[in-house]
Amino acid sequence: MTTLYALAYLLAAILFILGLRQLSSPRTARNGNYTAAAGMVIALGATVPQLHFTGAGAVIVLVGVLVGASVGTIGARQVKMTAIPQMVALFNGAGGGAAALVAVSELLTFGSHPPINEALPSVFSIVIGSVSFAGSLVAFAKLQELMTGTPITYPGQQLVNGLIAAAIIGFVIAVLAIASIPFSFLSLMVLALILGVAFVLPIGGADMPVVISLLNAFTGLAVAASGFTLNNFALIVAGTLVGASGSLLTKLMSDAMGRSLRNVLFGAFGQVRTTAGAAAGKEGRSVRTSSIEDLATLLAYSRRVIIVPGYGLAVAQAQHAVRELADLLEKKGVEVDYAIHPVAGRMPGHMNVLLAEANVPYEQLKEMDEINDEFKDADVVLVVGANDVVNPAARTSPGSPIFGMPILNADEAKNIVFLKRSMRPGFAGIDNDLLYDPKTIMLFGDAKDSLTKLVNAVKAA
């Protein structure tokens, strides 16, 4: 019988690996998720017959699963596409919390002098799981705008964080070397929760996807550690897979943004953001605006229009409005394409998902490499709530934080139209000279409003 369970866990691990492989390619990604889910069903199916229920145990398992499944399903189904990162953060935090609680329960059963090979992974799981839990909640709060998205820093912050970490190490030693008593490992948990909060507070809201990915890897490692405590193969392998792949993914994500992971996590310390200063310094320069009607005429009589969607489009939920405008223009014989920058928006693939949701046909979505040579032939580039991804400073100003990042060549088009609310810079906090370009027309206002007005004006044109 145990052999059967072990084989089931092995099968589950194989399915997880195959699922991950499929998830790495667009064509098979959705199947990959099913494959992994099948692995999960098998692992759980092999677990249930191994359980010895107490009366209370049966009740809490039943109720717990029902509650968890409902919360998970409803949360996952209701969430808006733009809010997916914070939803993932919540789910990830839940996993981290569960890992910490499992480890606490295990330590309770071991008595005050557990063997080191059980106690060590347990305290690891408590610390890492709790950091992941608390950190994920802060990430959620930042993204959901329950709190400010700007980095929260204060003098002496690094010292405070250092002290928390030192206290954690002290308690770890206490549990392992002196006595594993509830006071010690509960203190450990509380301190780790505080550390989790302190870790994420100084990181800006826009960097949250990277942080969530890192915490995701943390949870994986905590789960693997629980596997060592429980001597459970499935937990070890699945947790390690997530820990390893999640770490690499975190690196790939910060690479895609043209930044180092170090800079993402600790950039707020000792570095003054230049947002305000840079924006102020250029106040003297003038920009060109235009009436909605003139813009509509320009668009309607163009041969070729390229739309560059960015973070502001997501915020304004303007994807359907932008599609309406594009459809209208196409009916008038204008050739319309969307140029998707790899890190447009606030999470990788953000724009692809949003535009797909708005049913924009696949062929109209062009990756950066594919379309960058075509901007020079475009009559109008319509930049909707994007900024950094078209900032020529990435090519021209070696001092700029985004220098070296490949950008969309919007500046090569005959006309550039920006739909944004103000002259404020984008995520990178640096001014964009393209806004002041003689070829550029600004249309201030919320992206969705502006687009709706444009649609009406084009209809009239």
Ligand X SMILES: NC(=O)c1ccc[n+]([C@@H]2O[C@H](COP(=O)([O-])OP(=O)(O)OC[C@H]3O[C@@H](n4cnc5c(N)ncnc54)[C@H](OP(=O)(O)O)[C@@H]3O)[C@@H](O)[C@H]2O)c1
Distance in Å, CB of 344 to ligand X, minimum: 4
Q: Answer with the entry of other proteins, ligand X, none that 310 interacts with (C-beta below 5 to 8 A by kind).
A: ligand X
Q: Which of 427, 375, 426 is nearest to 435 (CA)?
A: 426
Distance in Å, CB of 193 to other proteins, minimum: 14
Q: Which residues touch 383 (CB under 8 Å, ≥6 apart)? A: 308, 310, 390, 410, 416, 417, 418, 419, 420
Cβ–Cβ < 8 Å for 239, 222: yes
Say whether 3 sits in a helix, a strand or coil: helix
Q: ∠ CA 203-433-295 to the nearest 5 degrees?
A: 110
* Whether residue 446 lies in the annotated active site: no
Q: Answer with the entry of ligand X, other proteins, none that 389 interacts with (C-beta below 5 to 8 A by kind).
A: ligand X
Provide the token pair at 217: 């890897």
Backbone angles phi, psi at 308, to 5 degrees: -110, 100
* Cα distances (angstroms) measured from residue 128 to each of 7, 55, 188, 242, 376: 29, 32, 11, 14, 51
Distance in Å, CB of 204 to other proteins, minimum: 18
Q: What is the dihedral of CA 165, 252, 75, 129, to 10 degrees?
A: -20
Using the 8-state DSSP alphabet, how is residue 308 labeled?
Answer: E
Dmax (CA) of the chain: 82
Please report the sign of the dihedral spanned by the C-alpha atoms of residue 317, residue 322, residue 325, residue 331.
negative
- Nearer Cβ to other proteins, position 250 or 400? 250
Say whether 443 sits in a helix, a strand or coil: strand
Find the helix or strand (DSSP H, E) in which 378 lies.
none
Q: Answer with the entry of ligand X, other proteins, none that 252 interacts with (C-beta below 5 to 8 A by kind).
A: other proteins
- Nearer Cβ to other proteins, position 146 or 248? 248
Q: Answer with the entry of other proteins, ligand X, none that 376 interacts with (C-beta below 5 to 8 A by kind).
A: none
The upper half-sphere exposure of residue 206, i.e. CA atoms within 13 Å in the direction of its Cβ, equals 18
Q: Answer with the entry of ligand X, other proteins, none that 142 interacts with (C-beta below 5 to 8 A by kind).
A: none
Distance in Å, CB of 421 to ligand X, minimum: 3
Q: Answer with the entry of other proteins, ligand X, none that 176 interacts with (C-beta below 5 to 8 A by kind).
A: none
- Nearer Cβ to other proteins, position 69 or 160? 69
d(CA 77, CA 79): 6
Residues found near ligand X in the complex (CB under 6 A): 206-207, 209, 257, 310-312, 315-316, 343-348, 350, 385-389, 419-422, 424, 426-428, 446-447
- Nearer Cβ to other proteins, position 19 or 205? 19
- Nearer Cβ to ligand X, position 198 or 390? 390
Distance in Å, CB of 455 to ligand X, minimum: 16
* Cα distances (angstroms) measured from residue 336 to each of 298, 333, 360, 383, 432: 14, 9, 11, 13, 25
Distance in Å, CB of 252 to other proteins, minimum: 7
Distance in Å, CB of 275 to other proteins, minimum: 26
Find the helix or strand (DSSP H, E) in which 131 lies.
helix 116-143
Q: Answer with the entry of other proteins, ligand X, none that 236 interacts with (C-beta below 5 to 8 A by kind).
A: other proteins
Distance in Å, CB of 131 to ligand X, minimum: 21
d(CA 414, CA 249): 38
Q: What is the dihedral of CA 284, 149, 195, 252, to 10 degrees?
A: -80
Q: Answer with the entry of other proteins, ligand X, none that 388 interacts with (C-beta below 5 to 8 A by kind).
A: ligand X
From 207, 337, 379, 388, the catalytic residue: 388
Active site residues: 388
